Chain A
Amino acid sequence: NAGVTQTPKFQVLKTGQSMTLQCAQDMNHEYMSWYRQDPGMGLRLIHYSVGAGITDQGEVPNGYNVSRSTTEDFPLRLLSAAPSQTSVYFCASMHLSSYEQYFGPGTRLTVT
């Protein structure tokens, strides 16, 4: 199993550009989520999904869109990047019955 994979590892964007952060898992997990981690702070939940076709907002959803067309993939789209979105983004997945969340290696995003 590859576990949870994220691409790209690093990305630099200019203000106003859009991009998609990719997340995939091969463990057939129903639940997937996106977090952001700012320097010196804990992770904050952006969006989550409890199954294909179902998404919902987390704690800090503004400026981000998600979709879940398959069980495996959960891309995060930045609509119009802002410097405040400079952060490290982590994707996670979990079997709903287990409570054990598996995190990807992260994408480090810088918006200038």
Chain B
Amino acid sequence: DAKTTQPNSMESNEEEPVHLPCNHSTISGTDYIHWYRQLPSQGPEYVIHGLTSNVNNRMASLAIAEDRKSSTLILHRATLRDAAVYYCILLNSGGSNYKLTFGKGTLLTVNP
């Protein structure tokens, strides 16, 4: 499985934008970039995913570098509820088990 690298932790202030980076230099052409987050004592929650183009949904935006070796999850206005561990995961579209390989992720702290 291709690996991802994320900072261990980041801090933000409430109502400010947050840019969470992810490096995936060994990504293959059929790997989708997924983001999940896990709030304390809860199960992981899907945030967004993309292949090549930038993606937007009601939760966040995903900016993918042109060479696809890195991506950035953008939370446009952080709230206290966004404090969580954010996982950047590569999922190969050709695989049959849809296994999500969770690393250590980035612990996002949001200050009031």
Contacts and interface: CB of A to CB of B under 8 A. Distances in A.
Contacts of B15: none
A48 to B, nearest CB: 6
Given A103-B43, A103-B44, A106-B42, A42 B49 contact: no
A70 B42 CA distance: 26
User: Helix, strand, loop or mixed for chain A's interface?
Assistant: strand
Interface in B81-112: 87, 91, 96-105
Contacts of B96: 50, 56
Given A56-B97, A90-B43, A106-B43, A99 B34 contact: yes
Contact of B46 (A45, A48, A100): A100
A48 B102 contact: no
A42 B102 contact: yes
Contact of B49 (A43, A56, A90, A100): A100
Interface of B: 32, 34, 36, 41-46, 49, 87, 91, 96-105
